[in-house]
Amino acid sequence: MAFKSVLVSALATLSYASPLLHLRSNNDTTFVFTNSNGLNFTQMNTTLPNVTIFATGGTIAGSGSSSTATTGYTAGAVGVLSLIDAVPGMLDVANVAGVQVANVGSEDVTSDILISMSKKINRLVCDDPTMAGAVVTHGTDTLEETAFFLDATINCGKPVIIVGAMRPSTAISADGPFNLLEAVTVASSPKAKNRGAMVVMNDRIASAYYVTKTNANTMDTFKAIEMGYLGEMISNTPFFFYPPVKPTGKVPFDISNVTEIPRVDILFSYEDMHNDTLYNAVDSGAKGIVIAGAGAGGVTTSFNYAIEDVINRFDIPIVQSMRTVSGEVPLSDVSSDTATRIASGYLNPQKSRILLGLLLAKGRNVTQIADVFALGTNA
């Protein structure tokens, strides 16, 4: 057994130190190497790490009517091989394979797509010792939700980088190509290991657990306002501000046996909020509900009574989050002696929805769900 371990280690070392095998020439997209999982590479230089790009569409793969069109474009018009061809410099960083998971605007990314993609990354990247990391190209509108899902369900320590663009590929000064190059660079870096999933855009490296889209239009939109960035890119070189660390409250999930995520609805809090929206969600089949509350999870007095009624009568977990772009909903602001109330802590409504859906998929009850959310909240 010891000899076998030494042999495997030696072979792994040779796989990274052995000489050049197949180099891509000119702009040839012919596949010159296929690995044991069927992933196709247009070059295989064994002195470089291997990275797989999982493409889902979005603005980074978008096409507009003119070079100045940054709105009204078609998302997901460009395939993964075209994305790779557009950034030949990435082949100086890594050997890259592409997997087309979907090609849609991010609003059309479903839980089925997320489950399938997570399982693919676990199988094709995590379980393959020759793979350094993964990159996921994605539309920006729901990018943080996918990033949070992958952060929770891929726990092998290899970097998973989610990347997008705010300008379509046809625009002047499109940000997608350089974002993609930086994403592949971070996915290839040994310094990126054991940091969970990360979002790399606009020269910034952010934790998928915390980052959120803060502006509908500008390129510097993804930020973790209170928590800060993990690092930055300078001349396509990653610099991390801190050693690897797990965010407070993060819970890993094994979804190898999960086939679907139960329905979780988000309801927005506002003045004169109507209780029937809550009961309509229950009647429509929601198995969990997240409230985007005013301030630190606030709702009207009448709606507050309706929350307790739904929890106690239907045994449905309700998480109170915030409609503000940052901040915390502490447990003390929503706790009750008559119902099991759940505070989102620092998770915004969209990330609370992902976490609640995963917990329901794993069969957790209201009390168990409350205990998990409590890990990331103050008293």
Q: Judge whether 12 lies within some domain.
A: no
Q: Is residue 212 part of a domain?
A: yes
pLDDT at 17 over 50: no
User: What pLDDT band is residue 77 in, cutting at 50, 70 and 90?
Assistant: confident
Q: Say if CB 289 and CB 265 are below 8 A apart.
A: yes
Which residue would you say has higher pLDDT here, 377 or 126?
Answer: 126
Q: What is the CATH number of the domain that holds 289?
A: 3.40.50.40
Whether the pLDDT of residue 28 is over 90: the answer is: no
For the chain, the three-class secondary structure string (H helix, E strand, C coil) is CHHHHHHHHHHHHHHHHCCCCECCCCCCCCCCEECCCCCEECCECCCCCEEEEEEEECHHHCECCCCCCCCCCECCCCCHHHHHHCCHHHHHCCEEEEEEEEEECHHHCCHHHHHHHHHHHHHHHHCCCCEEEEEEECCCCCHHHHHHHHHHHCCCCCCEEEECCCCCCCCCCCCHHHHHHHHHHHHHCHHHCCCCEEEEECCEEEECCCCEECCCCCCCCEECCCCCCCEEEECCEEEECCCCCCCCCCCCCCCCCCCCCCCEEEEECCCCCCCHHHHHHHHCCCCEEEEEEECCCECCHHHHHHHHHHHHHHCCCEEEEECCCCCCECHHHCCCCCCCCEECECCCHHHHHHHHHHHHHCCCCHHHHHHHHHCCCCC
Q: Please tell me the predicted confidence (pLDDT) of residue 378.
A: 80
Nearest to 171 by CA among 81, 99, 63: 63
- The count of structural domains within the chain is 2
Q: Please choose, from the candidates 307, 318, 371, 309, the residue with its C-alpha nearest in 3D space to the C-alpha of residue 349.
A: 318
User: Has residue 245 been placed in a domain?
Assistant: no
Residues 156-214 have pLDDT tens digits of 999 999 999 998 877 888 899 999 999 999 999 999 999 999 999 999 999 999 999 99
Same structural domain for residues 160 and 271? no
Do residues 136 and 175 share a domain?
yes
Residues 153 and 221 in one domain: yes
185 is a catalytic site residue: no
Q: 216-263: per-residue pLDDT in tens?
A: 999 999 999 999 999 999 999 999 999 999 999 999 999 999 999 999
Amino acid making up residue 364: R
Q: Give yes or no for residue 1 having a pLDDT over 70.
A: no
Least confident of 8-12, 278-282, 375-379: 8-12
**Which of 205, 240, 275 is where one domain is finished?**
240
Q: What is the DSSP string of 240-270?
A: ESS---PPTT------TT------EEEEE--
Q: Are 231 and 355 found together in one domain?
A: no
52 is catalytic: no
> Domain limits at 170?
33-240
Closest by CA position to 199, among listed 351, 375, 358: 351
Whether residues 367 and 277 fall in one domain: yes
Mean pLDDT of 340-368: 97
Position 100: which residue type?
Q
288 and 139 share one domain: no
**Which positions make up the binding site?**
106, 140-141
Q: Over 80: is that where the pLDDT of 6 sits?
A: no
Q: Mean pLDDT in the chain?
A: 91
Residues 60 and 172 in one domain: yes
Indicate which residue of 46, 59, 137, 142 is catalytic. Answer: 59
Q: Could you tell me if 361 and 305 lie in one domain?
A: yes
Identify the active-site residue in 140, 146, 170, 212: 140
Q: Is pLDDT of 20 > 90?
A: no
Domain identity same for 72 and 200: yes
Domain annotation covers residue 8: no
Can you say which residues are annotated as belonging to the binding site for substrate?
106, 140-141
The answer as to whether 16 is a domain residue is: no
**Whole-number pLDDT of residue 169:** 78
Mean pLDDT of the 125-151 span = 97
- Per-residue model confidence (pLDDT) at position 222: 96
Residue 149 lies in a domain: yes
Q: Is 158 left (phi over 0), alpha (psi -120 to 50) or beta?
A: beta
Same domain, 133 and 96: yes
85 is a domain residue: yes
Interatomic CA distance for residues 277 and 318, integer angstroms: 13
Is the same domain home to 80 and 229? yes
- 325 plus 232 within the same structural domain: no
Question: Which sign, positive or negative, has the C-alpha torsion 62, 149, 182, 132?
Answer: negative
Examine residue 68 and state whether it is found in any structural domain, yes or no.
yes
| pLDDT, mean of residues 292-296 | 95
- Identify whether the C-beta of residue 57 lies closer than 8 Å to the C-beta of residue 105: yes
User: What is the reported pTM?
Assistant: 0.91
